[in-house]
Amino acid sequence: MIRKSSLKIVSISAAIGISLTLVVTLLSNQTAPSPYNPKVTSYSNIQNATTTSSLTRPKSNGNVSSDGRGATTKVAFVRPSFTYAAYQLNGFYNFYAKHEHVLASTNVTTDLNLLTVKIPSGPVLIYTQNPGDTPAPIREKEYIDKLIELVKSNVPDVQIADITDKEVDSGLIFSQNGSNAYNVLFLFHQEYVTPSEYHNLEKFVQNGGVIVFNDANILTTEVRYDKNNNTVTLVEGHTWKYNGQSAWRAESEKWANETREWVGSNFLQDPTKDNVTFANNPFGYKHTEEQYATNPSDKIILDFLAQVNNARESAENGGAGAHPTVAIYELDQGKGKVISLSIFSYKLVGNPSFLDYYKTEIIPRAFSSLGQI
Query: Could you please report the per-residue DSSP string of 164-226?
Result: EHHHHHTTTTB-TTSSBS-SEEEE----EE-HHHHHHHHHHHHTT-EEEE-SSS-S-EEEEEE
pLDDT for 369: 75
Q: Helix, strand, coil proportions of the chain in percent (round to 5)?
A: 20, 20, 55
Q: Taking CA 108 as the corner, what is the angle to CA 103 and CA 114, rounded to the nearest 5 degrees?
A: 120
Residue 68: name the closest of 265, 334, 292, 261 by CA. 334
pLDDT for 162: 87
Task: State pTM to two decimals.
Answer: 0.83
pLDDT for 59: 52
Cβ-Cβ contacts under 8 Å for 266 (sequence gap 6 or more): 253, 256, 259, 260, 291, 292, 294, 318, 320
How far is C-alpha 92 from the chain's CA centre?
17
pLDDT for 31: 33
For domain 73-370, the question of CATH label 3.40.50 is answered with: yes
Its sign, for the CA torsion 94, 98, 101, 104, is: negative
Segments making up each domain of the chain, as ranges: 73-370
pLDDT for 58: 61
Residue 266: name the closest of 219, 226, 308, 223 by CA. 219
pLDDT for 139: 78
Indicate the residue type of 123.
P
Q: Taking CA 145 as the corner, what is the angle to CA 139 and CA 150, rounded to the nearest 5 degrees?
A: 135
Cβ-Cβ contacts under 8 Å for 134 (sequence gap 6 or more): none
Distance CA 46, CA 184 (A): 18
pLDDT tens per residue across all 373 residues of the chain: 544 443 333 333 333 343 333 333 333 333 333 333 333 222 223 233 333 334 556 654 333 333 444 458 999 999 999 999 999 999 999 999 999 999 998 999 999 999 999 999 889 999 999 999 999 888 788 888 899 999 999 999 999 998 999 999 999 999 999 999 999 999 999 999 999 999 999 999 999 999 999 999 999 999 999 999 999 999 999 999 999 999 999 999 999 999 999 999 999 999 999 999 999 999 999 999 999 999 999 999 999 999 999 999 999 999 999 999 999 999 999 999 999 999 999 999 999 999 999 999 999 999 987 755 4
Residues in the chain: 373
Distance CA 338, CA 208 (A): 10
